Amino acid sequence: MQSGSPKTKTPFATTGRSRKGEPWIWLTAAGLALGVAMALGLFLLILFKGAASFWPGRIDLMEVSIDGKTELIAGYVTQETERRDGARKVHEEIQVFRGNKDLNGEAFKYIDRANILKSTRPESILLVERLEFGPAIVNGVAVETPQGRIEVGKHGFSDALKTMLQQGADSRVRLLKIERKKIGAISRELEALGRAKRSQSVASNIAADRRKVLQRDFDRLQAEAAEIRAETAKSKFVGVAADGREIVVQSGSLLGFFESNRAGFFGRVGEMRHRIWKFLKDDPREANTEGGVFPAIFGTVIMTLVMSLFVTPFGVIAAIYLREYASQGLFVRIVRICVNNLAGVPSIVFGVFGLAFFVYFVGGYVDQTLFSDKLPTPTYGTPGIFWASLTLALLTLPVVIVATEEALSAVPRGVREAALACGASKWQAIQRIVLPASLPGILTGVILAMARGAGEVAPLMLVGVVKLAPSLPIDDIAPYIHPERKFMHLGFHIYDLGFQSPDAEAAKPIVYATALLLIVVVVTLNLTAILIRNRLKKRFAVSSF
Amino acid sequence: MPVNLPLSRPDFIEVENFSFHYGEKRAIFDISMKIPENQVTALIGPSGCGKSTLLRNINRMNDLIEGVRHEGDIRIGGTSLYDPSVEVISLRKRVGMVFQKYNPFAKSIYENVIFSLRVAGRSKRSLLDETVERALKSAALWDEVKDRLHDSAFGLSGGQQQRLCIARAIANQPEILLMDEPCAALDPLATLKIEELITRLKSQYTIVIVTHNMEQATRCSDRTAFLYMGKLAEYGETVQIFENPSNPETEAYITGRFS
Ligand SMILES: Nc1ncnc2c1ncn2[C@@H]1O[C@H](COP(=O)(O)OP(=O)(O)O)[C@@H](O)[C@H]1O
Ligand SMILES: [Mg+2]
């Protein structure tokens, strides 16, 4: 019976009181949605811009009237903007990439749409990739080889072009081998001889003889290289730019062609794949604005792995002591607070510390004890990938410690007691039972540390990252692993291209592409770690959670 | 006919004026009792009366808790557990323990059983194999798992996991087996199996079992101790305790007038 209430109510109707607080649910949901939208937007922007920078567009040939004269300009439209002039009149302006930096000085040109008289897309226009001055946009004219000149359209032109491309690629490989490996080896030996002479560990006449032999080899190799260069200079491609000027590319610097306006959809997809592949595997060229980013990928991955290699054992050991052995008193509480605060220290501070402690102090000491013959040239007493990894290991240490502590304390007490009741010592219980059970949690910490470390740039600038590293930290020159070398890093590469580049406009697409790549690299590293973790989770699944 | 009676010492485990404190809180008040060898002794009493505390002192499991303190003594076979020469680890090798919530390790069945041998540094393959078979047979689990010894222990049912824990506790042939409500998390059928097991094991082990189940105490124990508010209220033959309790609290408890 409804007790005396005038209105009949269903017994379990939601009343105003019990509904209180529901708006807050919406608020939290809205907060989440906003966060997700922002993250997604960021990612999509980078994905779109990064991918778009590889997509080959169509080349427009435009007749433009500039200051009363008519000029022919060929290029891609890269941006469209609106601009108001002093009279508040709206101008539609386009940014055109017309290449040919050797002729024009600037690769980009801004054109008012109103000034374009005529625009066509002739199929014959070529995009020529070359070693210097960035791409060229030309109409083919002829191929010149020692056997003679073949005009475009004549029989054998495309075959000759193909042969020339192949020859150019071969000669580049040969030059690289001579200059980087053979001459490099000689200069390293010369250097060692010089040191030996100074420390008088080699008799001076023997040293002088050896030096003579080396010098002769050196001269011979140089002559060989010069010969190859002269050979490649004999074959060239001749093209003509839209404004009629001639562009000649020697076979040695000819990288490839693409007929942007003739290629169909699949041809363009193929070209895109080809560009992505080159971006991933090539060395950078021309102040990093051309070519690929392979050394930066390599440096990022190696640095992150070495960092994880250091931070994991140290973090885990520290956490084991903190959680399992130290008596949980005031002191441990203070240490824990300090560790947590360490995570909040600005990363550049770690860079300063790394430079002062690792590089100058530890590195200087290592140099004095192990590499004193090379001084005053520092070996380890200068920024390098090893010190950078250590600095980042220090930076990410709190992440691993905190995660490991959590994981350790999540191991059910019953399992520990069972181990102890079986006659295990405390260490045996930790090592055989507790650690395996907390491994997934520990790995989660390592994953977070990797994510944090791989994206960090500021401290690296002090302890080993450079704009252009001459050689990789791991290569085929003995002793194969060079932890003292400087390295390139994707994060720094982005900064360098975007803010330090002489041609910011030219670098823009590469900035997006590199940002996308950095995300991909970090995500890949993380996914690998997550995969390993899930494997372990299956193996060490704990019953009660 | 071989009789093990002469070997059975009536005062194998001696608890003497034993008190135990968790920091400020006193959990056990001056308990003295003698637990005979090769018999099953049940500890009963309402929740929080100190049964687990007493049990966990027999293998010094409570040492791990910070701020604990004890008075009096516990002796096994005449040796005081608190003698400075006694090593906790070797003590725990002589006193196996089974817990309320079955807690196998995240390892294979095989590795679970031989864990105590592994930590003792024994790794001879034949010994390990023998031990696994013997312990699992003693725990009445062998027939059920002999074909999947190297599978994860978590693939077993709750009752099987608890029997695995028993096998693990007896693998290194301890003298005493402590069981803290071993059937609390199990269904009636699994409980029955464990009870049968206890009855069979008592010829080899001195068993001390904490239980909340009165029938269980009558079914499988020889002697019963009734603890009440940290004190030993009554202790004697199970038959006598249940049929003719001398203490009014004991009677109230076993007839279910309070929990
Ligand atoms: N780790 C501990 N710290 C503090 N007090 C405890 C701890 N364990 C048990 N106690 C207290 O000791 C008393 C006895 O507990 P316990 O031996 O677990 O009882 P029972 O097993 O008979 O239910 C209880 O009052 C309990 O609150
Ligand atoms: Mg209890």
**A181: containing domain:** 141-273
First vs last C-alpha separation in chain A? 47
Distance (Å, rounded) from C-alpha B236 to C-alpha B226? 9
Cα–Cα distances (Å) from B176 to A1, A163, B104, in that order, read: 64, 88, 20
Domain count, chain B: 1
Q: Is there a single domain that holds both residue A264 and residue A354?
A: no
| Residue where a domain stops, chosen among A130, A164, A187 | A130
Q: Is there a single domain that holds both residue A262 and residue A327?
A: no
Where residue B60 sits, what CATH number does that domain have? 3.40.50.300
Inform me whether the pLDDT recorded for A168 exceeds 90. Answer: no
Q: Is there a single domain that holds both residue A173 and residue A72?
A: no
The answer to whether residue B1 is domain-embedded is: no
Atom of ligand 1 nearest to the CA of B49: 22
Residues of A in contact with B168 (CB under 8 A): 418, 422
3-state SS assignment for residue A99:
coil
Share of chain A above pLDDT 70, in %: 94
Name the residue with tokens 């202790």: B235
Containing A335, the helix (H) or strand (E) segment is: helix A330-342
Mean pLDDT calculated for residue range B114-131: 91
Q: Where are the alpha helices (DSSP H) in A156-203?
A: 157-176, 183-199
At A2-20, the pLDDT tens digits run 444 555 666 676 666 656 6
Longest dimension (CA), chain A: 121
Q: In this complex, is the C-beta atom of A327 within 8 Å of any C-beta atom belonging to chain B?
A: yes
- A172, two tokens: 């580049």
Question: Looking at residue B161, what is its pLDDT?
Answer: 92
Distance (Å, rounded) from C-alpha A279 to C-alpha B138? 67
Question: Looking at residue B7, what is its pLDDT?
Answer: 60
Within 182-241 of B, beta carbons closer than 8 Å to A belong to none
At A311-366, the pLDDT tens digits run 999 999 999 999 988 888 899 999 999 988 888 889 999 999 999 999 889 988 88
Q: Is A414 in Cβ contact with B115 (below 8 Å)?
A: no
| Residue where a domain stops, chosen among A130, A157, A173 | A130
Distance (Å, rounded) from C-alpha B145 to C-alpha A393? 46
- The secondary structure of residue A15, as a DSSP letter, is P
Cα–Cα distances (Å) from B170 to A305, B143, B144, in that order, read: 45, 18, 18
Q: Is A541 in Cβ contact with B154 (below 8 Å)?
A: yes
Q: Is B154 in Cβ contact with A422 (below 8 Å)?
A: no
The answer to whether residue B3 is domain-embedded is: no
Mean pLDDT calculated for residue range B46-59: 92
**In this predicted model, which residue has the larger pLDDT, B58 or A183?**
B58
Cα–Cα distances (Å) from A467 to A33, A365, A400, B30, in that order, read: 39, 27, 30, 77
At A262-299, the pLDDT tens digits run 888 899 999 999 999 988 988 888 777 778 889 999 99
Question: Looking at residue A1, what is its pLDDT?
Answer: 43
Q: Is there a single domain that holds both residue A254 and residue A339?
A: no
Q: Is there a single domain that holds both residue A411 and residue A519?
A: yes
- The secondary structure of residue A374, as a DSSP letter, is G
Distance (Å, rounded) from C-alpha A192 to C-alpha B76? 75
The answer to whether residue A41 is domain-embedded is: no
The answer to whether residue B8 is domain-embedded is: no
The answer to whether residue A1 is domain-embedded is: no
Question: Looking at residue A539, what is its pLDDT?
Answer: 67
For a ligand 1 pocket test, name from B25, B62, B253 the mutation site with the most ligand atoms within 8 angstroms of its C-beta.
B25
Q: Is there a single domain that holds both residue A175 and residue A215?
A: yes
Mean pLDDT calculated for residue range A195-203: 72
The answer to whether residue A49 is domain-embedded is: no
Distance (Å, rounded) from C-alpha B138 to C-alpha B203? 11
At B25-40, the pLDDT tens digits run 999 999 999 999 999 9
- A19, two tokens: 């509904």
Distance (Å, rounded) from C-alpha A414 to C-alpha B165? 12
Q: In this complex, is the C-beta atom of B89 within 8 Å of any C-beta atom belonging to chain A?
A: yes
Cα–Cα distances (Å) from B199 to A262, A534, A540, B214, B242, in that order, read: 91, 43, 34, 16, 19
At A206-234, the pLDDT tens digits run 778 888 888 888 888 888 888 888 888 88
Q: Is A543 in Cβ contact with B89 (below 8 Å)?
A: no
Is the C-beta atom of B69 inside 6 A of ligand 1? no
Q: Is there a single domain that holds both residue A412 and residue A298?
A: yes
Containing A70, the helix (H) or strand (E) segment is: strand A69-84
The answer to whether residue B77 is domain-embedded is: yes
Q: Is there a single domain that holds both residue A226 and residue A344?
A: no
Crossing angle of helices B158-170 and B125-138, in 10° steps, is 130
Estimate to the nearest angstrom the gap between the alpha carbon of B116 and the chain centroid.
Answer: 16
Distance (Å, rounded) from C-alpha A464 to C-alpha A456? 13
Inform me whether the pLDDT recorded for B67 exceeds 80. Answer: yes
The pairing of strands A125-130 and B223-228 is unpaired
Spatial contact of B253 and B46, defined as CB atoms under 8 Å apart: yes
Distance (Å, rounded) from C-alpha A465 to C-alpha A303? 10
Distance (Å, rounded) from C-alpha B245 to C-alpha B65? 35
User: Which residue on chain A is closest to B114 by alpha carbon?
Assistant: A422
Q: Is there a single domain that holds both residue A332 and residue A397?
A: yes
CA dihedral (A131, A134, A140, A146) in degrees, to 10, reads -20
At B154-187, the pLDDT tens digits run 889 888 999 999 999 999 889 999 999 988 888 8
Please list the residues that pair with B18 across neighbouring strands: B31
Length of chain A: 545
Q: What are phi and psi of B203, to 5 degrees?
A: -70, -25
Question: What residues contact residue A385 under an 8 Å CB cut-off, 6+ apart?
Answer: A299, A302, A303, A306, A464, A473, A483, A484, A485, A486, A487
Domain count, chain A: 3
At A379-405, the pLDDT tens digits run 788 888 999 999 999 999 999 999 999
Containing A500, the helix (H) or strand (E) segment is: helix A490-500
The answer to whether residue B31 is domain-embedded is: yes
Cα three-residue angle B115-B119-B120, rounded to 5 degrees = 115
Beta carbons within 10 angstroms of residue A178's beta carbon: 16
| Residue where a domain stops, chosen among A130, A161, A190 | A130
Spatial contact of A359 and A381, defined as CB atoms under 8 Å apart: yes
Length of chain B: 259
Least confident of A200-214, A246-260, A417-431, B195-209: A200-214
Spatial contact of A411 and B103, defined as CB atoms under 8 Å apart: no
Closest-approaching ligand to the CA atom of B65: 1
The answer to whether residue B32 is domain-embedded is: yes
The answer to whether residue B59 is domain-embedded is: yes
Which residues have C-beta under 5 Å from ligand 2, the single-atom ion? B 52
Band of the pLDDT at A543, cuts 50, 70, 90?
Answer: very low
Amino acid identity for residue A178 in this structure: I
Spatial contact of A512 and A50, defined as CB atoms under 8 Å apart: yes
Q: In this complex, is the C-beta atom of A424 within 8 Å of any C-beta atom belonging to chain B?
A: yes
Question: What residues contact residue A357 under an 8 Å CB cut-off, 6+ apart?
Answer: none
Q: Is B115 in Cβ contact with A422 (below 8 Å)?
A: yes
Name the residue with tokens 């047979």: B137
Q: Is there a single domain that holds both residue A378 and residue A408?
A: yes
Question: Looking at residue A540, what is its pLDDT?
Answer: 60
Q: Is there a single domain that holds both residue A126 and residue A155?
A: no
Distance (Å, rounded) from C-alpha B211 to C-alpha A402? 40
Ligand 1 centroid–CA B27 distance in Å is 6
Distance (Å, rounded) from C-alpha A469 to C-alpha A482? 13
First vs last C-alpha separation in chain B? 44
Question: Looking at residue A8, what is its pLDDT?
Answer: 61
- A179, two tokens: 């200059």
The answer to whether residue A285 is domain-embedded is: no
**B143: containing domain:** 13-254
Spatial contact of A134 and A143, defined as CB atoms under 8 Å apart: no
Name the residue with tokens 């693939």: B155
Q: Is B99 in Cβ contact with A422 (below 8 Å)?
A: no
Please list the residues that pair with B69 across neighbouring strands: B21
| Ligand 1, atom 27: closest residue by C-alpha | B48
At B7-27, the pLDDT tens digits run 678 888 999 999 999 988 999
Q: Is there a single domain that holds both residue A241 and residue A320?
A: no
Cα three-residue angle A363-A369-A374, rounded to 5 degrees = 80
**In this predicted model, which residue has the larger pLDDT, A376 or B113?**
B113
Please list the residues that pair with A445 across neighbouring strands: none
Atom of ligand 1 nearest to the CA of B25: 5
